[in-house]
Amino acid sequence: MIENVDPTNIRERLEKVTHNQINNQSQNIQYLKTMEELGDTLGNKDFKENFLEAKETLRERFIENLSSNPTPEEIAEFEKKLENLISNEGYKIRVINYVDEKITEARNNNWDLNQYHENLDKLKDNNIAILKKKLEEATTELDKENILKSLESAELHSVQSLEQVKESLDNNSTLQAIDAAKMRQMEQFNERVQNITDPEKIEAIKANINSNTGLRIEMNKTEDNIMNKLDTLIKEKKRKQDRINKSLEEVK
């Protein structure tokens, strides 16, 4: 099993696995999709955070290898690769948001990359429309819960994805299913940050939330004073870390 790998070495191990495909954008998209799905199955919390860092490294490399001055053919090929991902709509929306987040950041230095962003928006809207139709056709609350399950990850781009799906809906019972999914998602998020021992990693998560006003507002709707709670948690983790460091110094 992948979780048998030393958590501290997972980033290095995964980078080695994917290194030979450094210029293969199609394969890198598949890796991102697979890691998106696999990350939801991991139970070891320390392992999972290191796994997410490895996924972030792959995303950065993927964006770096995009053509800086793309032709219409390259844009079409890029869209086709994402469109042809073999997965359900929830995971496709998550991958699109995960990639687009970095493209949106990178286009500040190269506006030509905005062409990728525009195509991703269209592709995301298509998948949201498909997911919306499935939710509206679902006959039981369990069916709706199962459809939304792939969007309940505690990762921030998944929080954003679930909110985007909600914005497309107008059916009250379906909206209730979304709100229930958001509550389950926030429970996972709280569990995730509680299990992170390094306060700097929690600070990085907080900074990412702060950088996205819409995301911060929506998370606050589900969890009151989420930013203040993160601040409190960071202080607690720092105090604990200081105690551990002090004990280690005394042992020396």
Segment 181-219, tens digit of pLDDT:
999 999 999 999 999 989 999 999 999 999 988 899 989
- Chain centroid, CA 235 distance in Å: 25
* Residues 81 and 48 sit within 8 Å (Cβ to Cβ): no
pLDDT bucket at 10, cuts 50 / 70 / 90: low
* Residues 157 and 165 sit within 8 Å (Cβ to Cβ): no
Write down the pLDDT at residue 14: 65
For the segment 26-43, the average pLDDT, to the nearest whole number, is 86
Write down the pLDDT at residue 161: 95
Q: Which amino acid is at 75?
A: I
Residues 6 or more apart whose CB falls under 8 angstroms from that of 225 comprise none
Place of tokens 């954003």: 160
For residue 15, give both structure tokens: 């980078």
For the segment 76-95, the average pLDDT, to the nearest whole number, is 89
- Reduce the DSSP state of residue 248 to 3 states and report it: helix
* Residues 163 and 133 sit within 8 Å (Cβ to Cβ): no
Residues 6 or more apart whose CB falls under 8 angstroms from that of 150 comprise 37, 40, 88, 90, 91, 94
Residue 244 maps to a domain: yes
Residue 113 maps to a domain: no
* Residues 193 and 233 sit within 8 Å (Cβ to Cβ): yes
* Residues 91 and 151 sit within 8 Å (Cβ to Cβ): no
For residue 209, give both structure tokens: 């939330």
Distance (Å, whole) CA 72 – CA 95? 22
For residue 227, give both structure tokens: 């930013």
Residues 118-156 pLDDT 10s = 889 999 999 999 999 999 999 999 999 999 999 999 999
Question: What is the total count of domains within the chain?
Answer: 1
Write down the pLDDT at residue 69: 80
Residue 58 maps to a domain: no
Residue 229 maps to a domain: yes
Residue 120 maps to a domain: no
For residue 234, give both structure tokens: 């960071």
Residue 4 maps to a domain: no
pLDDT bucket at 252, cuts 50 / 70 / 90: low
Distance (Å, whole) CA 182 – CA 155? 12
Give the domain extent around 244.
Answer: 196-252
Of residues 153, 157, 158, 152, the one with CA closest to residue 178: 152
Residue 245 maps to a domain: yes
pLDDT bucket at 61, cuts 50 / 70 / 90: confident
Distance (Å, whole) CA 103 – CA 205? 19
Place of tokens 């996972």: 188
For the segment 39-67, the average pLDDT, to the nearest whole number, is 84
Residue 240 maps to a domain: yes
